[in-house]
Amino acid sequence: MPPRKLAAGNWKMNGTLASLAEVETLMHDCAGAGVDILICPPATLLRLMAERVSAGAVAVGGQDCHAKESGAHTGDISAEQLRDAGASYVIVGHSERRADHGETDAAVAAKAVAAHRAGISSVICVGETEAQRDANETLDVIARQLAGSVPDCATAANTVIAYEPVWAIGTGRTPTNDQIAEVHAAMREALVARFADGAKFRLLYGGSVKPANAAEIFAIAHVDGALVGGASLKAADFTPIVRALDAA
């Protein structure tokens, strides 16, 4: 059986209390969709959003977690605290965290281990920069990030992989279908070689996914969903993406 598809939204540092209405609209408009839906709001909204979606049609997740369970780490949030607030997923290793906070593959793997320890799923992000793509290093970079950022305790049940080319994030530019297909096939191959259930890990594409390009991207082999930034902020944009995934 193919993996169950996942439409995930990453709100990044966007959204206030007023934005909670979007998730209610989304739930209403996506009722009956046969795919998993996840929204990762800023931490300030997590608990309230989890309460609003308690009917279960939409899961909520964090955007990052600390590797430790608790302690003197001002400003950080542990995976256990995310779970306590109602999260069932956490994004780790997003390129914005790797760039803004110097997160290494080892740090990302430790965060994924923390998520699994807390009983929530990790969405582990990988992706090449434009310079790396221009230098023909994409597959090497992805292989290295997967090897270093995905911990040995990962399973298809607790881990989702998101391929997000850094140069496609927030730019309106996307790789060609062949380029996405090449990376997703390579990721699948690496996961199958390393994990007994590697064929079942969900592989998301992320980077300028919009209603207009979603169907085309979801038709690509080994694309099991999307991690969406800007187009996940409004239900009117995210709903057609969810519907395109459901129809794929």
Ligand X SMILES: O=C(CO)COP(=O)(O)O
- What's the closest the beta carbon of residue 227 comes to ligand X, in angstroms? 5
Q: Which of 66, 80, 94, 222 is flagged as catalytic?
A: 94
167 annotated as a binding-site residue: no
Among the listed ranges 31-39, 136-144, 222-230, 235-243, the one in contact with ligand X (CB under 6 A) is 222-230
Exposure of 105 in the CB half-sphere (CA atoms within 13 A):
13
- What's the closest the beta carbon of residue 245 comes to ligand X, in angstroms? 14
* Site residues (CB under 6 A) for ligand X, limited to 110-149: none
- What's the closest the beta carbon of residue 139 comes to ligand X, in angstroms? 21
Q: Is 222 a catalytic residue?
A: no
Residues binding ligand X: what is the number (CB under 6 A)? 14
Is the CB of 190 or the CB of 233 nearer to ligand X?
233
Q: Which of 103, 164, 184, 222 is flagged as catalytic?
A: 164
Query: Binder to ligand X among 227, 235, 241, 244 (CB under 6 A)?
Result: 227
Residue 169 within binding range of ligand X, rule CB under 6 A: yes
170 annotated as a binding-site residue: yes
234 annotated as a binding-site residue: no
Which pairs from 127-135 meet CB under 8 Å and 24+ separation?
127/95, 127/163, 127/164, 127/165, 127/166, 127/168, 127/169, 127/206, 127/207, 128/165, 128/166, 128/167, 129/166, 129/167, 130/166, 130/167, 133/165, 133/167
Binding mask of the shown chain, residues 17 to 56, with x at each position contacting ligand X by CB under 6 A: ----------------------------------------
Residue 151 within binding range of ligand X, rule CB under 6 A: no
Query: Binder to ligand X among 229, 239, 244, 245 (CB under 6 A)?
Result: 229
Q: Is 51 a catalytic residue?
A: no
Query: Binder to ligand X among 77, 209, 217, 242 (CB under 6 A)?
Result: 209
**Which residue numbers are catalytic?**
94, 164
Annotated binding site: 10-12, 170, 208, 229-230
Binding site for ligand X (CB under 6 A): 10, 94, 164, 169-170, 206-209, 227-231
